[in-house]
Amino acid sequence: MNILFASSEVAPFIKTGGLADVAGSLPKKLAEMGHDVKVILPLYEGVAQQYREKMKLLCHWNCRVAWRTPYCGILELREDNISYLFVDNEYYFKRAEVYGHYDDGERFTFFSRAVVETPAHLDWHPDVIHCNDWQTALVPIYLLEERERVWQLRGSKSVFTIHNIEYQGRYGDQVLEDLLGLNRGYMNEHMLAYHGDVNLMKGAIYAADYVTTVSPTYAEELQYPFYAHGLEGVVADNRWKLQGILNGLDADLYDPSNGAGLAAAFTPDDLGGKAACKAALQRAVGLREDPNVPIIACVSRLVRHKGFELVAAAIPEIMNMDVQMVVLGTGEWNFEEAFRHAEAQYPSRFSARIQYSAALSTAIYGGADLFLMPSVSEPCGLSQMIAMRYGTVPVVRETGGLKDTVVPHGVFGDNGFTFADINAHDMVWVLGEAVDLYYNDKSAWRGLQHNGMTRDFSWNEPAREYEGVYYQITGIPRPEAEFHAPAGAPAPTEVPIPDEAPVAEEHPAPALAEEPVPEVPAAPAEEPPAAPVKRPAVRKAAARKSASSGGAKKASSGAGTAGTKKPAARKKKETPAD
SS3 for 265-286 is CCECCECHHHHHHHHHHHHHHC
Nearest to 129 by CA among 63, 210, 184: 210
Buried b (16+ CB within 10 A) or exposed e, 426-455: ebbebbbbbbebbeeeeeebeebbbbbbee
Nearest to 361 by CA among 323, 330, 318: 330
The answer on whether 278 is annotated among ligand-binding residues is no
Contact 201, 150 (CB under 8 A): no
Nearest to 238 by CA among 201, 206, 263: 206
Kind of pairing between the strands at 82-88 and 71-79: antiparallel
Nearest to 412 by CA among 373, 448, 380: 448
Q: Which amino acid is it at 52?
A: R
Question: Cα–Cα–Cα angle for 326, 328, 334, nearest 5°?
Answer: 100
Dihedral of the alpha carbons of 58, 61, 64, 68, in degrees to the nearest 10: 130
Local structure of 453: helix, strand or coil: helix
> DSSP secondary-structure letter at 476?
P
- What is the DSSP annotation of 154-214? TT-EEEEEES-TT---EEETTHHHHTS---THHHHTSSSEETTEEEHHHHHHHHSSEEEES
* Start-end of H helices in 79-137: 90-93, 104-122
Buried b (16+ CB within 10 A) or exposed e, 337-346: ebbeebbeeb
The annotation places the binding site for ADP-alpha-D-glucose at: 15
The annotation places the binding site at: 15
